[in-house]
Structure 1
Amino acid sequence: MTTIEEKLEENKRTLNKVQTPPELEDRLRKALQKVPAKKRNTNRAKTWIVSAAAAIVLIVGTYQYPAFAYFGGKLFNKVELNSLTFSEVAEQGYGQAVNKSKTFDDGTVITINGVIADDNALLMYYTIDQPAGSVLDDDGFVRYSTNKIKGFLTDSSILGGGGNFSKDKTQFVGVDKFKAISPFSRTLTVTFSERLENGEQVTYPISFKFKANKAMKSLLKENISKSVSVDRGEVHYDSITASPTSTIVKGHYEMDDQELPRFSVKTKLYVNGTEVKTWGMREHLSQDTGILEFESEYDVLPTDKLESVELVLENFSGFQKVDKPISLASPSDQSIKVGTEKLWIRSVTKTDTGYDIVIARKEFVLLERDNIAIQANGKTVPVSSISTSRPWDLKNGNILWEQTYSFNTTDKPELLLLEGFEYIKTYDKTITIPLEK
């Protein structure tokens, strides 16, 4: 049986299927058959990183952040917040200045310049200054890292980070994003780590006073409590919180067979009819309920004048039933249409131990071992082994993926008995979020 960790890993590796670089496609497809060991990405210096299976702990209360006026009605998008220095943000009336520094043993100085906090996240703006006569480089920068912010009712892990080097490489100006903190916190502590050349790690905590009255209230915070029926279950959308740092939609899956979905949901967000850019998704298994929950993150809302907000479940795991056996009498490279998908029976070959059948399919169409058998001389023969997937180049710009399915029988196969297969199904179902007038 597939473990929870394997399912989560599979989900993680299929979140961005359209954008997957060509050189990684083979690894991704193989991962759907056999999950490799997890790898940790430690380079936070250049791109925003979103964990695909991060555990999320949110403290729910009635306390609201004090209202903070949106400067001239302007809302930052995520790219702007990531690229601006804190001084530029503060010029427009945002955030809380901190200006607390810590000097490392080697003379490196890290300074927390300021923070922006809201219902979705805390952004921490900081600088790393090198001692006189030394410079930072890409390899050297990964020596420094943060992972959590702690305080009263707060233990918030990092979600990602980014920044830029100065022209002379003596300073790095960065911003890290953490999970939302408790507004009841009055003192926050960030622990910076340095990895030494001998492999040891030293830590340097920096504490500062947190002023909740410098935080910003959410533009939109609504319980959705709506679901969409999908093959083998439902996708539930629980809430949406739109703040000046991001927009978060939370939900969970409820599957009929209690299994975790093979593929993750892809949801689009529309505000006043315009699509809001998506930044990724995280999933985690609730320890309390055993239900797989998800968070979809989007850019900040493009306006504070909301006329309509809609979610569109674009695609998710689907299961295509196969109603009748597939003939193996004349294998060829011609496709066989099954529902909205296609299969190719490329060859049926006798071997020393039985018969091998080569079946090709499109990417992310998955034929499970338990759903495959053949009929030979009136007998049902289960599959004995399945090869790893390999590319089949159609020489027309399309690449399919084929596998060899082996059966231990001396009788020639007549029919392929396929109960069904999992695939990424297009749903395009819309949920309208009611807005308070």
Structure 2
Amino acid sequence: MNEIEDILKANKTHLDQIQVPEALEGRLRSALNKKAHFPRANRLKSYAATVVILVAMLLSFNYDVIAIYSKQLLGYDQVMNASLKQLSDLGQGQSIGKSVSFANGVSLTVDYVVLDENQLLMFYTVNDPSGHVDEDNISPIMSLKAFWGEYHFQNSQGTMNEEKTEMKYLASFEPPMLFEKNLTLKFSLRQQGREVPAEISFTVNRNTAMGHTLKKTLNKTIVVDDTPITIDSILASPTKTVINGSLQTIFELAKAQLSGEQFRPVYLTLKLIANGKEVQIQGGGTSSGMKGITFHSDYDPLPQDLENLQLELVSLVAEYDVNQQFRLNKPSDGEKQSLNILGQMVEITKIETSKGETHITISSEESLILSRIYLMMDGKKVSLEQTIMDKYDKLPDGRSIHTRTLRFLGTGDELELDVQRMTYSKSNHEMLEIPID
């Protein structure tokens, strides 16, 4: 009770901001507006009694919400962002409270789940009385099994207590289909080189599930240096906002492979801007499959008072096939040699030989990486041994120059740099307006 009273005091501001449910407000207003057949003094007493009942109802309702929050979500503050904390304060989600214990005393408890159209969030606790909960006793490979299929684990984060006996985790799973109610969490304990499987079954209360706040099919294409990037859709929900798109269709991918001009995206930087402010990014990734090369970018939920929404394509980092050889001149007296590789400039600042090795120092834009290179020494192809010096210098215009030394075993009079593949960033900064109505 003392913990609950402390939480009530801490949430005083939240209590002051509670709004009366529309249905209740309507009924009370209707009752108050009715003509009464009793004296004015009695009417005042009736009004006062109504107000007291209303306040009692609101305090009782919020007291229950906070009691649930204190019991089920205590200790999860460090793994929740501001939006999730707000949802928790409002009592969104479903209490589960189911556990499994293993023979060695380790246990896993599913405390709470929050479900919307983008994901199912699971709050769970791992306990280890021996104080070794940080040694990855529970395998991170999890899934939710249902009647019609299996919903995969996406990511998680956790926080540990000082005694190392308890870990609080917040895990994200693919959202179950609308008709799925009975779910089973499948996981395992790592013990003595083997995995001990376990499961916890529970029923999803669809009345506590949330849908989406914005859902749009966009099909907008932005071209970055002859590379078309398609923004397919946006799905915003109370827990996060997801942008889905594609970089190459399966036909474009096949064509590139046949022609030998392969393109492999590494990272796409997108900024989501709501009401003129950048929305915090949560993560993202790319994948290849029957749909070609697709990507997704995840952000925090959109503001409730959304007035305008924009998506800025900042840059695309990708790996490109080069397959070119560049004859090297040994620099002397500070002379540098510039190489134009697919429109990107690489400077050879120094070539040195020592103890039967050749060291080549190069400089380029920060994002440029020669991801597969060889050195031809008098016609003999030699692989890169290692990079032995690596530094970044900031320029006045904000850009960074990346300087590193490449080490090759062997020496030769005639040197050629054989560049097979290269990774670099293409900037764009094109803005796309997203309709919100």
Name the structure 2 match of 1:276: 279
SS of 1:261 mapped into structure 2? strand
Shift of 1:187: 0.1
Take 2:196 and 2:321, find their aligned partners in 1: how far apart are those partners? 53
Provide the residue aligned with 1:176 in structure 2: 171
Give the structure-2-normalised TM-score. 0.64
Matches within 5 A, 1:358-437: 358-362=360-364, 363-367=366-370, 385-391=383-389, 400-403=403-406, 422-436=423-437
Cα pair 2:372 2:420 within 8 Å, conserved: no
Residue 121 of structure 1: how far off its partner (Å): 0.9
Answer whether contact 1:143 1:195 (CA < 8 A) is retained. yes
Change (3 A) 1:102 1:337: same
- Does structure 1 retain, via aligned residues, the 8 Å contact 2:190–2:196? yes
Equivalent position to 1:155, from 150, 153, 173: 150
Pairs within 5 Å for 1:244-393 = 244-254=238-248, 257-258=256-257, 259-286=262-289, 288-289=290-291, 291-301=292-302, 303-317=303-317, 328=329, 330-331=331-332, 332=334, 334=336, 336=338, 341-347=345-351, 358-362=360-364, 363-367=366-370, 385-391=383-389
**Number of positions where the alignment pairs a residue of Structure 1 with one of Structure 2:** 343
Tell me, in whole angstroms, the C-alpha distance in 2 between the residues paired with 1:88 and 1:230.
38
Question: Residue 237 of structure 1: CA displacement?
Answer: 1.3
Structure 2 counterpart of 1:235: 229
Structure 1 or 2, whichever has the larger Rg, is: 2
Out of 100, 103, 119, the position equivalent to 1:102 is 100
Displacement after TM superposition at 1:168 (Å): 5.1
| Larger deviation, residues 423-432 vs 355-364 | 355-364
Correspondence for 1:200 = 194
Among all aligned residue pairs of Structure 1 and Structure 2, give the percentage whose two residues are the same amino acid: 23
Correspondence 1:142 to 2:141: no
Of 341-350 and 106-115, the range deviating more from structure 2: 341-350
1:122-141 correspondence to structure 2 within 5 Å: 122-130=120-128, 134-141=129-136
Give the CA deviation at 1:180. Answer: 2.0
Give yes or no for contact 1:320–1:423 (8 Å, CA) kept in 2: no
Counterpart-to-counterpart distance in 2, 1:357 and 1:308? 54
Tell me how far apart the structure 1 counterparts of residues 87 and 392 of structure 2 sit (CA, whole Å). Answer: 52
- Against the structure 1 CA distance between its residues 345 and 399, is the aligned structure 2 distance closer, same or farther, given a 3 Å change threshold? closer
Shift of 1:82: 2.5
* Structure 2 spans left out of the alignment, 5+ residues: 1-61, 63-75, 395-399
**Distance change >3 Å, CA 113–CA 316, structure 1 → 2:** same
Higher relative contact order (CA 8 A, sep 6+): 1
Matched ranges for 1:64-75 at <5 A: none
Q: Structure 2 counterpart of 1:93, which letter?
A: G
C-alpha distance in 2 between matches for 1:370 and 1:162: 38
- The answer for the alignment partner of 2:213 in structure 1 is 219
Aligned 8 A contact 1:146 1:190 in 2: no
Q: Report the alpha carbon displacement of residue 418 of structure 1 after superposing the two structures with TM.
A: 8.2
- Tell me which protein shows more helix as a share of its residues: 2
Q: Is the 8 A contact 1:145 1:194 kept in 2?
A: no
Q: Distance in 1 between matches of 2:132 and 2:103?
A: 19
Provide the secondary structure at the position in 2 that maps to 1:263.
Answer: strand
Q: Which moved more, 1:111-120 or 1:89-98?
A: 89-98
**Structure 1 length-normalised TM:** 0.64
Matched residue SS, 1:389: strand
